[in-house]
């Protein structure tokens, strides 16, 4: 079992997010669940990958050539895959993963999350997608999704593609099929 985790390459302003990422990494390793992620050694990404590795788990990072030095590719993980561009990164991560999880992050995290939701919606894949709404980080985004549904742009059955969780344990439980 491998879970692809989308998250920020920066630390953010809430130190509890880094602690949560570390806790998630430890849990993934203890439950023998491999991590697939964006390959950075920085921010939430680096904290998560380090925690998996520190606890004897397996980590596969996927990073585009042009971000290799910019995002400081994590060379201390189990596998580091270098790809040509962001499109290949997202395809490779999706191919390697059995489920998807989004932690707090910025535009890149949200873009990856929405693409994988869309892939499920149109039938390219059929894999669980869970949003860890840590300290209500994603509540405004979830409100927007429900607003779009009420406005007739998202079908109610498609809202169910995105599961939400408040804790590390809950998100792992919802991701493991």
Give the pLDDT confidence of 77-132 residue by residue, as tens digits: 999 999 999 999 999 999 999 999 999 999 999 999 999 999 999 999 999 999 99
* Torsion on CA atoms 158, 166, 63, 14, rounded to nearest 10: 130
- Its pTM stands at 0.94
pLDDT tens, 30-73? 999 999 999 999 999 999 999 999 999 999 999 998 776 665 88
Q: What is the pLDDT of residue 71?
A: 57
Give the whole-angstrom CA distance, residue 56 versus residue 40. Answer: 19
d(CA 124, CA 118): 9
Average pLDDT of 16-29? 98
Structure tokens at 24: 């998630």
CATH architecture of structural domain 2-175: 3-Layer(aba) Sandwich (3.40)
């Amino acid at each position: 079992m491998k879970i692809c985790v989308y998250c920020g390459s920066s630390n953010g302003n809430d130190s509890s997010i880094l602690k949560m990422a570390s806790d998630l990494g430890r849990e993934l390793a203890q439950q023998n669940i491999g991590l697939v992620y964006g390959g950075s050694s920085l921010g939430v990404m680096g904290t998560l990958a380090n925690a998996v590795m520190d606890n004897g788990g397996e980590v596969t990072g996927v990073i585009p050539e042009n971000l290799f030095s910019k995002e400081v590719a994590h060379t201390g993980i189990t596998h580091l895959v270098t790809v040509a561009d962001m499109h290949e990164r997202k395809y490779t991560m999706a191919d390697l993963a059995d489920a998807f999880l989004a932690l707090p992050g910025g535009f890149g995290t949200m873009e990856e999350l929405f693409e994988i939701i869309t892939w499920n919606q149109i039938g390219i894949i059929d894999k669980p997608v869970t949003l860890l709404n840590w300290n209500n980080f994603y509540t405004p985004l979830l409100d927007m999704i429900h607003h779009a549904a009420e406005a007739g742009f998202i079908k109610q059955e498609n809202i169910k593609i995105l599961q939400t969780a408040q804790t590390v344990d809950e998100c792992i439980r919802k991701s493991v099929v």
